């Protein structure tokens, strides 16, 4: 009887200790402040649909040259001289649409212990205008070495 009682209490102990504690499994995230650089629709010249992170001046200048190859897109940006020692750029380009009224929107940027997570949404989903467009959204954030994930 004593052995059964000991076995019973040991079983209860192991069962209770093996249950996960939700507080230990919560993924902590910290919002990261974004600073807008540009948002709108490309028209006339397009880039491939992409979510990209730009971390240095060479990448940035190549990016600007691509955007400005047909129209002066970067002329409407809030800034083009980025200090890549302090910042990095997140650029999102949606697909090319046969009509206007579309958007791609960087809703939040959060940091967790493993990565930086960029939450994207399409707040505008089109209208009846007959112009070919490609929505984009570009922001800068503080520099980090963590990988950037897009959702």
Q: Please give the radius of gyration of the chain, using alpha carbons only, rounded to the nearest integer.
A: 24
The CA–CA distances, whole Å, from 28 to 19, 88, 90, 121 equal: 21, 22, 22, 22
Mean pLDDT for the stretch of residues 117-129: 92
Is residue 144 classed as helix, strand or coil in its secondary structure?
Answer: coil
Q: Which residues pair with 4 in a beta bridge?
A: none
The DSSP output letter for 76 is G
CA 64/CA 62 separation, integer angstroms: 6
pLDDT for the residue 14: 54
Q: Which helix (H) or strand (E) holds 7?
A: helix 2-18
% the chain with pLDDT above 90? 72
The predicted-structure confidence for 42-67, as pLDDT tens digits, reads as follows 988 889 999 999 999 999 999 999 99
Give Cα 92 distance to the centre of its chain.
8
The predicted-structure confidence for 60-104, as pLDDT tens digits, reads as follows 999 999 999 888 999 999 999 999 999 999 999 999 999 999 999
What pTM, to 2 d.p., does this model score? 0.81
pLDDT for the residue 43: 84
pLDDT for the residue 20: 47
């Amino acid at each position: 009887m004593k052995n059964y009682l000991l076995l019973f209490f040991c079983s209860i102990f192991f069962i209770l200790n093996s249950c996960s504690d939700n507080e230990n499994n919560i993924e902590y995230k910290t919002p990261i402040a974004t600073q807008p650089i540009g948002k709108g629709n490309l028209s006339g010249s397009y880039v491939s649909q992409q979510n990209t992170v730009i971390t240095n001046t060479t990448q940035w200048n190549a990016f600007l040259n691509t955007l400005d190859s047909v129209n002066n897109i970067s002329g409407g940006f809030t800034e083009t001289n980025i200090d890549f020692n302090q910042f990095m750029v997140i650029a999102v380009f949606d697909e090319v649409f046969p009509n206007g009224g579309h958007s791609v929107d960087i809703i939040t940027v959060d940091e967790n212990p493993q990565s930086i997570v960029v939450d994207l949404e399409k707040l505008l989903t089109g209208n009846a205008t007959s112009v070919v467009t490609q929505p984009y959204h570009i922001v800068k954030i503080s520099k980090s070495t963590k990988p950037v994930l897009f959702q």
